């Protein structure tokens, strides 16, 4: 079920009414409503996916409880490894098995008469997200940072909580489980703020991301038909497409959770205003970057080690992060490139004797350009596609290509309402400049009530007139 579909809004109204009605009678019944709704939401794609999420939930609930009770170090390690093996094993089979088989065949030179079998399976939606969420629960119990919940109902709801189930934010048990356990009290201001944040997220998804996708998809579908500057423009627009698509999802998820009295963590903080790569990863997909920091980078030794080992730790963390996004060599390259940028910045930045403001501005410019350059690896569909894109980058024409001109003015998909993105997108960039170091809540909810509601109604109108309403494209991060 997609956030940008009519089915979701009908579903949300029904669940919202049932949730708060049952909350007045029974806290347990309220959680049952939330769990059942979450399973319906997830099973909407394919009910068979529910089997996997239930296996993960049962596994980590039992292991987490047992892990906390055991004192023997060796036993606790075995239990933790069992949780990791089951969760990562499921993720590997569904997401990476074919990739590694194909890579092995390519490296070993197996011919067509000696090929290994691959699995013809569908990647379950959101499996990477809820797998990491359940793993953080058992790891934190192993580290004695949290105690396991005694309620299977609460834990299953924590794993499947539908607003953030499919694409995050990846919540920690320490933050989310206490909110699910306590009996909530309905807050009108919280619900209204949630609705406004949902509308902002839908605007970013349906008006900005989905309209930019028409241009981006056309350029990346036939890169040899466009010149180098147009490939660069397409890559820059993709940077904002994926940002608005994913941060839009996060805003809708956070806003939806507020309707049920739950506060989720902020997942984006205007990342394209980052003045360094380190700062960028403090602003982009925060729930994932902090997960890798706490469960991969720090256990490897972090920066509390020699320079050579630190560089190794950075590369391992970023390459695994790239692989998390998808079973494709292009994602591995994307992760490795960010590691190169991160390490280079760490080595070069201290040596630059430049005044603070100039250094910050220079850092922003370099970060912005290189982050957007790296998206070409992320967006490329294969190694061959990547090579075609770089060959197209090498062409430099002073005039607009005929294909690009036709796309703008005669494209079947780029309709007159869609062309309004050429005017709306610059306005969005100005809005981002206004937000800058603030999130949407801090910036807008500090304004007068009349201004807040004016912005809200304007966003609704723009969604209705200029948003992609008919096809309801899915969110980019659903494929991860």
Helix, strand, coil tally for the chain in percent (to 5): 75, 0, 25
Statement to judge: residues 230 and 355 lie in one domain: yes
272 and 336 share one domain: yes
- Are 10 and 89 part of one and the same domain? yes
CA–CA distances in Å: residue 376 to residues 141, 217, 304, 385: 39, 12, 33, 10
Structure tokens at 227: 């010149």
Same domain, 463 and 419: yes
Looking at the structure, tell me whether residues 411 and 428 fall in a common domain.
yes
Domain housing 169: 6-186
d(CA 459, CA 452): 11
Token pair, residue 19, equals 């949730």
141 and 197 share a domain? no
For 367, the token pair is 């970060």
To 5 degrees, how large is the angle CA 290–CA 378–CA 346? Answer: 50
Give the pLDDT of residue 97: 66
Cα dist. 454→13, 196, 211, 371, 447 in Å?
24, 11, 23, 34, 11
270 and 249 in one domain?
Answer: yes
- Angle at CA of residue 202, ends 198 and 206, nearest 5°: 175
Low-confidence ranges of the chain (pLDDT < 50): 112-118
**Distance in Å from the first CA to the final CA of the chain:** 16
Return the structure tokens found at 132: 């990491």
Q: Is the torsion defined by CA of 351, 308, 315, 107 positive or negative?
A: positive
Instruction: Give residue 419's pLDDT.
Output: 64
pTM for this predicted structure = 0.90
Quote the tokens at residue 71.
């004192």
Residue 143: count other Cβ atoms within 10 Å of its Cβ. Answer: 12
Share the mean pLDDT of the chain. 86
Has residue 372 been placed in a domain? yes
DSSP letter (8 states) at residue 268: -
Angle at 450 between CA 261 and CA 254, to 5 degrees: 25
- Could you tell me if residue 475 is inside a domain? yes
d(CA 241, CA 233): 12
Q: Is the residue at 93 inside a domain? A: yes
pLDDT score of 109: 59
Residue ending a domain, among 137, 163, 186, is 186
Whether residue 311 is found in the same domain as residue 428 = yes
325: tokens are: 């996004």
Query: Do 457 and 385 belong together in one domain?
Result: yes
Q: Which pLDDT value is given to residue 112?
A: 47
In this predicted structure, what is the pLDDT of residue 102?
60
- Give the integer Cα–Cα distance in Å for 392 and 292: 35
Is there a single domain that holds both residue 108 and residue 80? Answer: yes
pLDDT in tens, 448-458: 888 888 888 88
- Distance in angstroms (rounded) separating the CA atoms of residues 136 and 123: 22
Quick check: is 332 in a domain?
yes
Q: Is residue 454 part of a domain?
A: yes
Q: Are 30 and 44 in contact (CB under 8 A)?
A: no
Domain for residue 1, yes or no? no
When divided into structural domains, the chain yields a total of: 2
Supply the pLDDT for residue 280. Answer: 94
Count CA within 13 A, CB hemisphere, residue 126.
Answer: 33
- For residue 30, what are the CA distances in angstroms to 19, 35, 53, 151? 6, 9, 21, 14
Two tokens, residue 174: 């320490």
Query: Minimal CA–CA distance to 88: which of 276, 319, 324?
Result: 324
What is the structure's pLDDT at 103?
A: 57
The total number of residues shown for the chain amounts to: 480
Return the active site residues: 325
CA distance 152 to 419: 51
Is 71 part of any domain?
yes
Given 167, 186, 205, which residue is the final one in a domain? 186
Cα 314 to Cα 35, 84, 271, 292, 337: the distances in Å are 38, 22, 20, 10, 11
The three-state secondary structure class of 414 is coil
pLDDT at 10: 94
Are residues 119 and 24 in contact, defined by beta-carbon separation less than 8 angstroms?
A: no
In sequence order, the 6+-apart residues with CB closer than 8 A to the CB of 413 are 214, 218
Cis omega (within 30 of 0) on the bond before 169? yes
Give the separation between CA 349 and CA 359, rounded to whole angstroms. 9
Mark which of 134, 161, 186 sits at the end of a domain: 186
Tell me whether residue 164 is in a domain.
Answer: yes
Q: Which residue has tokens 């119990």?
A: 141
């Amino acid at each position: 079920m997609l956030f940008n579909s009519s089915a979701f809004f009908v579903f949300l109204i029904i669940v919202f009414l049932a949730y708060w009605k049952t909350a007045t009678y029974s806290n347990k019944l309220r959680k049952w409503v939330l769990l059942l709704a979450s399973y319906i939401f997830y099973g909407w794609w394919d009910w068979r996916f529910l089997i996997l999420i239930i296996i993960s939930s049962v596994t980590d609930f039992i292991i987490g409880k047992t892990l906390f009770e055991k004192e023997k170090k060796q036993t606790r390690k075995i239990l933790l490894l069992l949780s990791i093996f089951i969760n990562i094993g499921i993720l590997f089979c569904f997401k990476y098995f074919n990739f590694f088989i194909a890579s092995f065949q390519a490296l070993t030179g197996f011919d067509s008469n000696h090929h290994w079998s691959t699995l013809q399976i569908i990647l379950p939606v959101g499996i990477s997200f809820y797998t990491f969420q359940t793993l953080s629960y058992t790891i934190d119990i192993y580290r004695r940072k949290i105690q396991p919940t005694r309620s299977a109902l609460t834990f299953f709801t924590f794993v499947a909580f539908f607003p953030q189930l499919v694409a995050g934010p990846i919540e920690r048990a320490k933050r989310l489980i206490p909110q699910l356990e306590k009996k909530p009290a309905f807050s009108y201001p919280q619900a209204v703020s949630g609705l406004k944040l949902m509308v902002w997220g839908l605007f970013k998804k349906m008006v900005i991301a989905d309209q930019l996708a028409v241009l981006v998809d056309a350029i990346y579908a036939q890169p040899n038909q466009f010149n180098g500057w147009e490939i660069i423009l397409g890559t820059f627009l993709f940077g904002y497409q994926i940002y608005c698509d994913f941060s839009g999802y996060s805003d809708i998820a956070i806003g939806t959770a507020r309707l049920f009295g739950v506060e989720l963590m902020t997942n984006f903080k205007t990342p394209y205003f980052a003045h360094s790569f380190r700062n960028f990863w403090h602003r982009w997909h925060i729930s994932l970057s902090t997960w890798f920091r706490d469960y991969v980078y720090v256990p490897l030794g972090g920066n509390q080690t020699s320079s050579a080992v630190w560089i190794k730790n950075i590369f391992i963390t970023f390459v695994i992060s790239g692989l998390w996004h998808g079973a494709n060599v292009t994602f591995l390259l994307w992760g490795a490139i960010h590691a190169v940028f991160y390490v280079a910045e760490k080595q070069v930045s201290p040596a630059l004797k430049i005044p603070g403001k100039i250094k910050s501005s220079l850092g922003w410019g370099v970060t912005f350009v290189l982050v957007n350059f790296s998206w070409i690896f992320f967006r490329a569909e294969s190694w061959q596609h990547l090579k075609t894109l770089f060959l197209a980058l090498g062409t430099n024409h002073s005039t607009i290509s005929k294909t690009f001109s036709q796309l703008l003015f005669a494209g079947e998909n780029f309709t007159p309402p869609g062309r309004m993105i050429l005017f709306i997108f610059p306005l969005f960039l100005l809005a981002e400049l206004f937000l800058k170091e603030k999130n949407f809540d801090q910036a807008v909810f500090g304004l007068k009530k009349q201004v807040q509601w004016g912005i809200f109604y304007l966003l609704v109108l723009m969604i209705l007139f200029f948003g992609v309403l008919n096809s309801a494209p899915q969110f980019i991060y659903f494929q991860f």
